[in-house]
Amino acid sequence: MAPSLSETHRQQLAITFVAVTRLSSLVVFGTAMAVYIGREATPFAVALALTAYHLGSLLFAPVWGAIADVTGRRRGVLLVTTVLASLSVLPLVFVQSVPFQIGIRGVYAVFAAGYAPAMLAIVSEQKTTAERGRAVGFYNSVVSVGGIGGRVLVGVLLGLLLPQSLYLVVAAMSFVSAFAVLGLTDPTPTPDRTLTRRELGEEIRARLLPGLDELDHVRANGLQWLYLALILRNITQKGIGSVLPVFLTAAAGVGVGVDEFTMGLLLAVSPALRTVLMYAFGAVTDRIGRKPLITGGLVGAGLQALLLAAAVIPGGITTRIAVAGLGFVVHAVTFSALSTGTIAFIGDVAHPERESELMGLRTTTRGIGGVIGPIIVGSLATVWSYQHAFVLASALGFVAAAVVAGAVVESHAGATPA
């Protein structure tokens, strides 16, 4: 039986509130930490904070995804992990040394990794296959709203609050997100039997460490090649993203040379545009298919890296801001296409009982890129320059696009070729 209009709107409102508060707190946390560490240490140390975050995501996103699938309690996974992530921030109210901040970012990631696998499975099951792209587009749009709020807010808070106060604000925002989870309805299937604790452990272990003959669900339509392409893209994107707050505020010639408030506005350009673009691309991918959006999105990672490198070229501050801003516009368009196409593709090919697992593997690809990318880009920026690091990193985005173009098969049978 189809849900009534009021039920649909109530679910959309709940999804919006959870996503906005969750993403806002995440952005404020990560950006502020990068700035604080950058004031005391090298770009490599700044990058290590993001590496710690993605290492936690890499290791635990599949765990939480498997638990959500096996138990069928995706809303419960969301609630528990969000509360624990909120609590993990509180020690930073008392201690803010560089090593401690990096360590806490990793602990936070262990619990924050439970968000995407469960939430994306809930979102993906809101609609039928023919309308899945629209559901994903709506969700990604509200995620972008959270990104805008977080980036603008952190630019203001960095100038107003001491680190301990700012981290307290982050924890409070995260707790609000946990409370909002209670308003969600979970439309995903629930297993028809209750597993014992031992059976649950065995099932999770089998999913995390499958035999080679148990990987057919990862090979559907070339899904394994899509995951490889996402790893390559995220090495570029996460590597550059790990040092962006410091790059934007570094002195002209080294970086762009803007103040912290302008930094926040520049970082908000992409999510501001994605608010509209994500929803629009949801409709586009239901018409022309998933693969064109994915391929174009991967190309965009390389283009953005080149534009950010060009923002260091000598010139007036207005010119440098304009070039950097164009880089974020390119990111908005191509990331919107990539994210919408990828999530819809996975939703198309995944068995309902393994959907959280495969959504979790998408988060894992971000984790692998987030572990490797910041180390590479942070090291190059420390011993060479941000500009050279960004140019070299751009190449992987173009390679990733070539992988998808050659090896991934369109999953949406009703698509009209572009």
Per-residue confidence band for 133, with pLDDT thresholds at 50, 70 and 90: low
Averaged pLDDT, 14-29? 90
Dihedral, 136, 215, 354, 369 alpha carbons, nearest 10: -50
Share of the chain above pLDDT 90, in %: 38
In whole angstroms, how large is the CA radius of gyration of the chain?
20
Q: What is the pLDDT of residue 399?
A: 96
Per-residue confidence band for 195, with pLDDT thresholds at 50, 70 and 90: low
Residue type, 316: G
Q: What is the pLDDT of residue 212?
A: 45
Are 367 and 59 contacting, i.e. CB atoms less than 8 angstroms apart?
yes
Say if residue 98's pLDDT is above 50: yes
In this predicted model, which residue has the larger pLDDT, 186 or 414? 186
Say if residue 178's pLDDT is above 80: yes
Predicted TM-score (pTM) above 0.85 = no
Say if residue 170's pLDDT is above 80: yes
Are 357 and 210 contacting, i.e. CB atoms less than 8 angstroms apart?
no
Say if residue 275's pLDDT is above 80: no
Q: What is the pLDDT of residue 408?
A: 85
Q: What is the pLDDT of residue 2?
A: 44
Per-residue confidence band for 372, with pLDDT thresholds at 50, 70 and 90: very high
Dihedral, 18, 21, 23, 27 alpha carbons, nearest 10: -170
The pLDDT tens digits of the residues spanning 290-339 come to 888 999 999 999 999 999 999 988 778 999 999 999 999 999 999 989 98
